[in-house]
């Protein structure tokens, strides 16, 4: 009998197989992942990440969990913001824990250099190696669409957050106009895989990444899933006309 299914790009695969397939994609692109993000977005992803980090607003003494944290782009932002806040008003250092399922991505992040507040770990977004109610803030950036079970990952985020803890998800989403969607589709399917092939030698990995965006829940649907997981005031802010969206909520 066939088991439960999960999406892998435009394919439906056995749920038990998805994690290994995704790991294979990121094993191949880890060394040039950050360069590809710049090329694919024209550098705009950096602005999105800056806005997300400012929204999270990490503070001295807090524990911030950055899931699917990859090479540490968001974690470095959190560490620096928390350090500046500590310089202004004192307090204990923050802890920023980067957790990623892919060891190659963690290794690539460590090679880039770290910050004193950052710790690194390999772990699963659906079964985090953390106690209940142990984090003040949780973020996942461009990673939620790669998990096998999105609802399970949201439930796990709520589990590790303290009551009142902050949740942020930055992810590619649905453009808000048909014209923008058409232009985005043309760019995504024709240009991004070609860039990926030229820079990393792996067209298929970037074809998957483009397809995975199309299978991800649209903004309102993801907000409803957050509410189901136990987040209050679940909502979202569109970036660049909905090309990306920042979902936000509070653990209740």
d(CA 210, CA 226): 24
Mean pLDDT of 75-80: 98
Domain boundaries, the chain: 5-251
Q: What are the tens digits of pLDDT across the range 186-235?
A: 999 999 999 888 888 889 988 998 999 999 999 999 999 999 999 999 99
In 3D space, the residue among 93, 86, 84 whose CA is nearest the CA of residue 63 turns out to be 93
Name the pLDDT band for 1 (thresholds 50, 70, 90): very low
d(CA 206, CA 195): 9
Mean pLDDT of 226-248: 97
Q: Is the pLDDT of residue 18 over 50?
A: yes
Return the pLDDT at 42: 77
Return the pLDDT at 118: 98
Q: Is the pTM of this model over 0.85?
A: yes
Query: Any bridge partners for residue 245, and if so which?
Result: 171, 238
In 3D space, the residue among 104, 83, 108 whose CA is nearest the CA of residue 94 turns out to be 83
- The answer to which of 47-56, 192-201, 235-244 has the lowest mean pLDDT is 192-201
Return the pLDDT at 148: 96
Q: Is the pLDDT of residue 179 over 80?
A: yes
Return the pLDDT at 31: 78
Return the pLDDT at 88: 97
Q: Is the pLDDT of residue 135 over 50?
A: yes
Q: Is the pLDDT of residue 57 over 90?
A: yes
Percent of the chain with pLDDT over 70: 99
Name the pLDDT band for 236 (thresholds 50, 70, 90): very high
Return the pLDDT at 27: 84
Mean pLDDT of 41-59: 94
d(CA 154, CA 229): 6
Mean pLDDT of 121-142: 97
Angle at 57 between CA 100 and CA 235, to 5 degrees: 80
Name the pLDDT band for 2 (thresholds 50, 70, 90): low
Q: Which CATH architecture has domain 5-251?
A: 3-Layer(aba) Sandwich (3.40)
Q: Is the pLDDT of residue 33 over 90?
A: no
Q: What are the tens digits of pLDDT across the range 145-176?
A: 999 999 999 999 999 999 999 999 999 999 99
Full DSSP string of the chain: ----EEEETTEEEEHHHHHHHHHHHHHHHGGGHHHHHHHHHTTHHHHHHHHHHHHH---TT-EEEEET-TTSHHHHHHHHHHHHHHHHH--PPPEEEEEES-HHHHHHHHHT---TTEEEEE-BTTB-SS-TT-EEEEEEES-GGGSS-HHHHHHHHHHHEEEEEEEEEEEE---SSHHHHHHHHHHHHHTHHHHHHHHHS-HHHHHHHHHHHHHSPPHHHHHHHHHHHTEEEEEEEEEGGGTEEEEEEEE-
Q: Is the pLDDT of residue 92 over 80?
A: yes
d(CA 58, CA 198): 38
């Amino acid at each position: 009998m066939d088991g439960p299914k999960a999406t892998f790009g435009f394919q439906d695969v056995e749920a038990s197989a998805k994690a290994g397939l995704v790991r294979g994609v990121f094993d191949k692109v880890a060394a040039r992942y950050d360069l590809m993000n710049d090329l694919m977005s024209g550098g705009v992803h950096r602005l999105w990440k800056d806005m997300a980090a400012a929204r999270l607003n990490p503070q001295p003494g807090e524990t911030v969990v950055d899931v699917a944290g990859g090479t540490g782009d968001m974690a470095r932002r959190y560490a620096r913001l928390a350090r500046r806040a500590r310089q202004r008003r004192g307090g204990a250092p923050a802890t920023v824990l980067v957790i990623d399922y892919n060891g190659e991505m963690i290794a690539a992040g460590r090679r880039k250099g770290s910050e004193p507040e950052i710790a690194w770990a390999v772990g699963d977004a659906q079964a985090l190696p953390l106690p209940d109610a142990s984090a003040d803030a949780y973020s996942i950036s461009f990673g939620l669409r790669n998990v096998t079970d999105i609802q399970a990952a949201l439930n796990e985020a709520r589990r590790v957050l303290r009551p009142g803890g902050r949740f942020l998800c930055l992810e590619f989403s649905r453009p808000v106009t048909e014209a923008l969607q058409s232009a985005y589709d043309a760019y995504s399917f024709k240009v991004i895989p070609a860039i990926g092939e030229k820079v990393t030698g792996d067209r298929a990995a970037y074809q998957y990444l483009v397809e995975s965006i199309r299978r991800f829940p649209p903004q309102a649907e993801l907000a409803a899933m957050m509410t189901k997981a136990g987040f209050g005031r679940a909502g979202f802010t569109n970036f660049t006309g909905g090309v990306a969206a920042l979902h936000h909520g509070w653990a209740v």
